[in-house]
Amino acid sequence: MLLKLQTKNYAFFEDLDITFSDRLNVITGESGSGKSLFVKALQTLMGEPQNTMKMNEDSMIQGYLVVGDTIRKSLREHGIKVDEELIVTVSFQNKRLIYRINGIMVPKEFLRNLSRDLFVFHTQGSQSKLFSNSFYMDLIDQFVDAQLLESYRKKFKTYFELLEKKKKYLNGVSNILKRKDYLSFQINEIETFSPSSEEEKTLNSKYSMMLNSKKIRESLAYALELIRTGDKSIYDILNDLKYMISSLNQEPLKPLVEKLNILIDGVEDWRYEAEKIFDEAEYSDEEFERLTQRLNGYQLLKKKYGSDVDSILRNLEDMRKELFELENIELELENIDEKLETLKIDLQELALKIREKRRKVIPTIERSIKKHLNDLKMKDAEIKFELNELNDFAMNGLDEIKLVASMNPGIPEAPIAKIASGGELSRIMLAIELAISERIGELSLIFDEVDSGIGQRIAEVVAKKLKEVSKKHQVLVVSHLPQIPLVADKHFVVQKASMENETRTFIKELNESERIVEITSMFGESFEDIKSKIEKFIRLN
């Protein structure tokens, strides 16, 4: 139950602070004054933000509510301590709405779910629900065992997910085969190469050493060739020069011969040292080619499967797992089929139990709706819920529910969307919601323009109905017909005022004398002619 609603800097409202009765609360006002803003504020508070509403960083909506044991238990399970009363707040921060319950931030979806246990909203255009079969299903299922429905829906969710998984497998058989072949090729390529971080490190070290040896040997081989081999080797040239000079046997040339001997010995020593270094620089064309090819293989694997050996091996493991899963699809399909068969048996049993519950509750609801339609001057109207059997499981079982009606005697039953006028649709929707209110728990009923499409002739009946319902439920009504505020326990009026080139909206609770003036104005009759009647009626009620 809503005790109080407060707003700050919300839409065009002047800041509100309204306290409600636990029975019938009625809001009136001129057309376009903003009566429905109150309902929109309440919807925003309960997790259904209205896009047309103007909010900024200073905006706030706050509601004080009384809740029962079931809601208190649910809130405690979510870590929110609450006694009989709770405070729900929505504020606008960083361009988004922030929701809190007793100061604890909660998701918007949490408020939406909580709202279903607190309020029933009948807003403008609610009769459009009459065009939806899902509305009828939800309506009937309010009176079916909730645990039974929940059990079925959980199993159906599992059943549907398994069907989708099976469908995905079957639709992708050709792709699966291609993927298996490709994975097998990749895995074989890596496993055949058998990469190892240690091996790569060793190969790089050997390759660097052998490349260095190759350069040394290539350089020394050319130098040694100049010294000892060929027709014009340094060694031969020096020996020929020595022979030519020494054969002259001239005393002045002897020092030159000695120097040539020194040069020849130096060349010989250099050759000895160079040959030693050459021999120690181990090199093999075959081994160098093997190292080069192996290292090129590592580079190719890195281009395909990872930036280093560790990532290649991780990808190899992932590919093995994927291949294993693909190779076990047949087994998985068998397991899925087994689970589906078991679920079908369970779903069939639960669906039949749900159907039986629906069949039992439908006549009771039909009678209740019919009673209210009679009161609403639609005695000739006959309504009937058709429960049709489906061929396959759906979220709500094996049933589909439709509402058919006949507006006049002798006229065949048909979907009401095809045969009912706008006013008739409004009254049918009102009759349905009144029938529901007789069987629901401690919910507050919110009616925005409940009398839309209803004329003065039926307004008194609607007023009596709402007054009767308010004995069991808190009722908040936005109305434009005077008969309804006439029986209100609390009467509020919405007014517009221009302030400094800005239009502001006020909601004010009326005292007895103010109510008389407002209701008289709504009747459209002269004040003196009707004042005494209204005054007497209000005091009697």
- For 422-444, write each residue's pLDDT tens digit: 777 878 888 888 888 776 667 88
pLDDT at residue 128 above 60?
A: yes
CB-CB neighbours of 317 under 10 Å: 10
- List of residues 6+ apart from 89 with CB closer than 8 A: 60, 61, 62, 63, 99, 100, 101, 103
Mean pLDDT over all residues of the chain?
Answer: 83
pLDDT tens figures, 100-113? 998 888 888 888 88
pLDDT tens figures, 360-415? 999 999 999 999 888 888 888 888 999 999 999 999 999 999 988 888 887 888 88
Helix (H, G, I), strand (E, B) or coil at 122: strand
In whole angstroms, give the CA distance from residue 259 to residue 201. Answer: 52
The sheet that has 397-406: what strands, in order across it? 382-394, 397-406, 414-415
Q: What is the pLDDT of residue 450?
A: 65
In whole angstroms, give the CA distance from residue 299 to residue 302. Answer: 5
Per-residue confidence at 232, pLDDT binned at 50, 70, 90? confident
- List of residues 6+ apart from 196 with CB closer than 8 A: 309
CB-CB neighbours of 13 under 10 Å: 22
Q: What is the pLDDT of residue 49?
A: 80
Please give the full DSSP string across 445-507, using - where no structure is assigned.
EEEESTTTT--HHHHHHHHHHHHHHTTTS-EEEE-SSTTTGGG-SEEEEEEEEEETTEEEEEE
Per-residue confidence at 418, pLDDT binned at 50, 70, 90? confident
In whole angstroms, give the CA distance from residue 363 to residue 369. Answer: 10
Span 301-330, mean pLDDT? Answer: 87
Q: In angstroms, how far is CA 266 from the centroid of its own chain?
A: 88
- The reply to whether the predicted model has a pTM over 0.85 is no
In whole angstroms, give the CA distance from residue 529 to residue 525. Answer: 7
pLDDT at residue 132 above 60?
A: yes
Span 263-292, mean pLDDT? Answer: 78
pLDDT at residue 490 above 90?
A: yes
Span 46-56, mean pLDDT? Answer: 70
In the chain, % of residues over pLDDT 90: 22
Judged by phi (left if over 0) then psi (alpha if -120 to 50, else beta), residue 450 lies in: alpha
Using DSSP bridges, classify how beta strands 85-93 and 444-448 pair: parallel, antiparallel or unpaired.
unpaired
